[in-house]
Structure 1
Amino acid sequence: MSKKVRTDTPAGPPPAPQPLPIAVVDNHTHLDISRDDGPPPDVTEALSAAKAVGVDRVVQIGCDLEGARFTVQQVEQHAQMLGGVAIHPNEAAKLADAGELDAAWAEIERLAAHPRIRVIGETGLDYFRTGPEGVAAQQDSFRWHIDLAKRTGKALQIHDRDAHGDVMRILDEEGAPESTVMHCFSGDINLARRCVDKGYFLSFSGTVTFKNARDLRDALSIVPLDRLLVETDAPYLTPAPHRGATNSPYLIPLTVRAMADVLAVDVPTLCQALSGNSEQVYGSWAV
Structure 2
Amino acid sequence: MTDVRLAERPELPDRLPLPVVDNHCHLDIRRDDAPEVALRQVISEAASVGVDRLVQIGCDIGSARWTAAVVDEHPALLGGVAIHPNEVPRHEAAGDLDDVLDEIASLAQHPRIRVIGETGLDYYRTGPDGVAVQQESFRRHIALAKRLGLALQIHDRDAHDDVLRILVEEGAPERTVLHCYSGDMEMARECVRRGYYLSFAGTVTFRSAKDLRDALSVTPMEHLLVETDAPYLTPTPHRGRANAPYLVPHTVRAMAATLNTSVPQLCQALSDNSEHVYGPWS
Residue 66 of structure 1 is matched in structure 2 by: 62
In 2, Cα distance between the equivalents of 1:10 and 1:85? 27
Q: Which amino acid aligns with 1:54?
A: G
Check conservation: 1:26, 1:59, Cα contact below 8 A: yes
Number of the residue aligned with 1:168: 164
Q: CA contact under 8 A between 2:120 and 2:163: conserved in structure 1?
A: yes
Query: Unpaired segments of 5 or more residues in structure 1?
Result: 1-6
Structure 2: runs of 5 or more not aligned: none
Q: CA deviation at 1:269?
A: 0.1
> Aligned letter for 2:198?
L
Paired residue secondary structure (2:71): helix
1:226 to 1:132, Cα distance in 2 relative to 1, 3 A: same
1:109 aligns with 2:105: yes
2: distance between equivalents of 1:152 and 1:122?
A: 16
Q: 2:183 aligns with which of 182, 187, 195?
A: 187
Secondary structure at the aligned position of 1:119 is classed as strand
Q: Deviations over 1:212-243 (max 9, x none)?
A: 00000000000001000000000000000000
Question: Which residue is 1:284 aligned to?
Answer: 280
* CA contact 1:32–1:41 (8 Å) conserved in 2: no
Q: Contact 1:33–1:40 (CA<8 Å) still a contact in 2?
A: no
Match of 2:131 in 1: 135
Does residue 45 (structure 1) correspond to residue 36 (structure 2)? The answer is no
Q: Specify the alignment match of 2:73 in structure 1.
A: 77
Query: Paired residue for 1:126, among 122, 129, 132?
Result: 122
Q: Paired residues, what number?
A: 280
Deviation, 1:20, is 0.2
SS of equivalent residue, structure 2 residue 143: helix
Q: What residue number does 1:3 align with?
A: none
Return the match for 1:87 from 83, 86, 95.
83
Structural mapping, 1:262-277, within 5 Å: 262-277=258-273
Secondary structure of 1:19's match? Answer: coil
The one-letter code sitting in structure 2 at the alignment partner of 1:153 is: G
Deviation (angstroms), 1:41: 3.8
CA RMSD of aligned residues (A): 1.0
Name the TM-score, length of structure 1 as normaliser.
0.96
Q: For 1:76, what is the secondary structure of its paired residue?
A: coil
Q: Write out aligned runs for 1:199-218 (5 A).
A: 199-218=195-214
SS at match of 2:180: coil
- Residue 155 of structure 2 aligns to a residue whose secondary structure is strand
Q: Does the 8 Å contact 2:34/2:242 carry over to 1?
A: no
Residue of structure 2 in register with 1:196 after alignment = 192
Aligned pairs for 1:186-265 within 5 A: 186-265=182-261
The 2-side partners of 1:213 and 1:83 are apart by: 29
Deviation at 1:8, TM superposition (A): 7.2
- Is contact 1:65–1:104 with CA below 8 Å preserved after alignment? yes
> How far does the alpha carbon of each residue in 1:17-40 deviate from its partner, in whole angstroms, 9 at most, with x for none?
000000000000000111025465
Name the aligned partner's letter for residue 60 of structure 2.
D
Question: Which of 32, 39, 43 is the matching residue for 1:36?
Answer: 32
Instruction: State the distance in 2 between where 1:169 and 1:11 align.
Output: 42
Amino acid at match of 2:51: V
TM-score normalised per structure 2: 0.98
The percent identity for this pair of structures is: 65
**For 2:156, what is the secondary structure of its paired residue?**
strand
| CA contact 1:31–1:41 (8 Å) conserved in 2 | no
